[in-house]
Structure 1
Amino acid sequence: MRSISAICSGPGLVLVLAMSLAACSTPKVQPTKAGGRYYLNDGPPKGISQAQIDAVKEPVPKVERFVSGTLKPYVAMGNSFRPMNKLALYHARGVASWYGTRYHGLPTASGELYDVMKLTAAHPVLPIPSYVRVTNLENGRTVVVRVNDRGPFLSDRIIDLSYVAAAKLGYAAKGSALVEIDLILP
C-alpha cells in the first residue's frame, strides 16, 4: 500500500489535482426553448399547463414565528451573511432566478419540503418565514411569495423563486429577470 506522501508527489500529484479540478468543474447546463438555461437534472416540471399555474393562489401574509436556526450568521460560497431577526422595511432591485424539479421534495432552510408549485422563495437574509412582493421590471407582473429557504448565493442574484412564481412573473422559460422585491409587513 502506498502512503499519502507517495501518492501526492510526482505522477500521483498530477492525478490528484486532475481529479480535484474535475470535481470542481462548472455544472452542465442545458438550453431552454426561449434561449434561457438551467442546470442539468433541473428545470420545469413536465406536463404543467398555464391553467394550473394560473390556479395557484398567492399566500396571505401573516405574522409567523421565525425559524430560530435560520437567524444565525452564516457563510456560503465564501460570503458572510447576517439574517434579519425582525420584520422591517426592505426593498431591493436585482436579478431573480428560479429553482425547479431538482430540488422538489427536498427540505428547505425552514424544514418544509420544496414544492415547485407553491409560491415560495429563497433569500440570503430575509427572516424565515416572511413574505415579499416581487415585481418583474421587464413586464410589470407582480406576485407575493413566502420566503422559506436560503439562497441564492451567486453575487449577481438577489432572490430565487419557485418554478410557479417565476412562471407567474413570466420569466421561467428565460431563466432570470430583473426584479424589485419589497418585504411585506403584515
Structure 2
Amino acid sequence: MRLPVNLTLPLAALILAAPVMGSEAGPAPTTGPAADYPVTVGEPFTVGNVTWTPTDQLNYDAVGYAVIGEGAGTTGANKTLPLPSYVEVTALDSGRTILVRLERRGPMVNEALVELSADAATQLGLAPGSHAPVRVRRVNPPEVERAALRSGNKVPERMETPEGLLKVLRRKLADQSPLLPPPSTPPTMPKGPLAQAAPAPLPLASSTPVPKAKTLPPATTAAIPNPAPRKPASSAPQVPGPKPSAKPPVPKGGEVVQIGAFSVEANAHKAAAQLGATVTTAGKFWRVQTGPFANRAQAAAALEKARAAGYSDARIQRAD
C-alpha cells in the first residue's frame, strides 16, 4: 500500500537550518576607514639616552635617515607617530616620493628616523643596507590608497620633489643635531637664489632699514660744549652706536650658533638682547652669535631657541 507524501516537512526543515548555516560563515571583514582603527599612540620610551614621546601630530614634517628592516608590503616604522598612520617618504638624493603605511614602532636606533620594509625601500629606489637621507611628512591619503596599502599592495609614486626644495631639506638635515629628536617643522622655501657654499656668511637678516634718528643716542649734541662749526651734511660724521660686546674666549674646536649677520648695527644689538647673544664685527657687518659650546649636541638647544624666535637661518658652525 502506498503512503501519501508530505511535501511541507522538507521545506520547514530547510527554513530552520538556514540561520544555523549562515552563522558558520562568521562576521564580514571590516572595510573602509574603520579598518584603520583603533589608532594607537603609546607611552614614552627610551633608546639609549634619548626619550621619545609618541604624539598625534598632524603637521609632522621631519628629515633624517631611513634604514631597511622587517615587514611586508609598503610599510614602515616610526618612533612617535600614531599607529597606523600614513606618510610620504622622499629620498633627498633623487627627489623620489612614495606613500607608506606606518604600522610598527622603530627603528630602535637614535640615528634613524624611519624604518622601511624591503618593498617600500625598493619602490623608493634604495639599495639593500642603505642609510639614506629622507623627508617624512604625514598625509591623509584617500581611502582607495589606504585600502591598497592595507592589502599589501603599493600605490603610484608621488610627483618628484623639485631640486630647490631638496636643497632646503638637505640643509635642514645638515644643521640639525643627530643626537636629539629631529624638529618636526615644515621647511621654508628660500627667497631668491640659494647660497651654494655652506661655510659662507648667512644672508643678511635685515631687510627693513631702521630710521637714522632711532640709531642716535638721545641728547648727544647737547652734551658737547661749544660745538665746532658744522660741516656740510654730506660730510658730517655719524655718531657711533654702542661698541660690540667682547666675544668670550672660544675653546679650540668648539661650536657656536650664528643667529645672523646684520648690515644695521642697531638690529644686531636688538637680536642679541633678545637671545642673550654677543655681537662681533666682520667687515661691514655685525654678527650675532651664542656660545661657545663644547660640542654640537650642546649647541643644538640654542639653535632651536634661535629658530623659535624667528631666525630661521640660524646655524651651528665651528668657532675656529
Short-chain TM bin: 0.5 to 0.7
1:90 corresponds to which of 60, 75, 94: 60
Question: In the TM superposition, what is the alpha-carbon distance from 1:154 to its structure 2 partner?
Answer: 1.8
1:173 aligns with 2:144: no
Deviations 1:31-51 (A, max 9, x none): xxxxxxxxxxxxxxxxxxxxx
Question: What letter is aligned with 1:99?
Answer: G
Structure with more contact order per residue of length (Cα contacts < 8 Å, sep ≥ 6):
1
SS at match of 1:160: strand
Q: Which residue identity does 1:132 align to in structure 2?
A: V
For 1:145 and 1:62, the matched residues in 2 are separated by 16
1:140 equivalent among 88, 92, 95? 95
The answer for the alignment partner of 2:221 in structure 1 is: none
Aligned-partner Cα distance in 2 for 1:162–1:143: 13
Cα distance, 1:67 vs structure 2: 4.1
- Are the counterparts in 1 of residues 44 and 51 from structure 2 also a CA contact under 8 Å? yes
Contact 1:88 1:185 in 2 (8 A): no
CA distance in 1, matches of 2:92, 2:111: 16
Please state if 1:65 is matched with 2:20. no
Kindly provide the CA deviation profile for residues 69-119 of structure 1, in whole angstroms up to 9, marking residues without a partner as x.
Answer: x522222344322111x351010111111114xxxxxxxxxxxxx32xx00
- Per the alignment, residue 182 of structure 1 pairs with 137
- Structure 1 gap segments, 5+ residues each: 1-60, 101-113
Looking at structure 1, the residues matched to 111 and 46 of structure 2 have their Cα atoms a distance apart, in angstroms, of 17
**Pairing 1:27-176 to 2, within 5 Å after superposition:** 64-68=36-40, 70-84=41-55, 86-100=56-70, 114-115=71-72, 118-173=73-128, 175-176=130-131
Distance in 2 separating the partners of 1:124 and 1:156: 12
**CA shift at 1:131, angstroms?**
0.2
Helix, strand or coil: the match of 1:157? coil
One-letter amino acid matched to 1:166? A
Matched position secondary structure for 2:114:
strand
Could you tell me which runs of 5 or more consecutive residues in structure 2 were left unpaired when the two chains were aligned: 1-31, 142-320
CA–CA separation in structure 1 for the residues paired with 2:86 and 2:108: 19
* Count of residues in correspondence between the two structures: 109
Kindly state the Cα deviation for residue 65 of structure 1 after the two structures are TM-superposed. 2.4
Taking only aligned residues, the RMSD between alpha carbons, in angstroms, comes to 2.2
- Distance in 2 (CA, whole Å) between partners of 1:97 and 1:130 is 18
Q: CA deviation at 1:147?
A: 0.4
- Higher strand fraction (1 or 2): 1
Q: 1:62 to 1:144 in 2, by over 3 A?
A: farther
Question: Judging changes above 3 Å, is the alpha-carbon distance between structure 1 residues 62 and 136 closer, same or farther for their aligned structure 2 residues?
Answer: farther
Given that 1:95 and 1:158 are in contact with CA atoms closer than 8 Å, whether structure 2 keeps it comes out as yes
Question: TM-score, length-normalised on structure 1?
Answer: 0.53
Contact 1:119–1:165 (8 Å) recurs in 2: yes
Distance 2:93 2:79 in 1: 23
Hey, which of these two has a bigger chunk of helix by percent?
2
Helix, strand or coil at the partner of 1:131: strand
Contact 2:48 2:110 in 1 (8 A): no
Q: Is the 8 A contact 2:89 2:100 kept in 1?
A: yes
Q: SS in structure 2 opposite 1:164? A: helix
In structure 2, what residue type is equivalent to 1:124? Answer: K
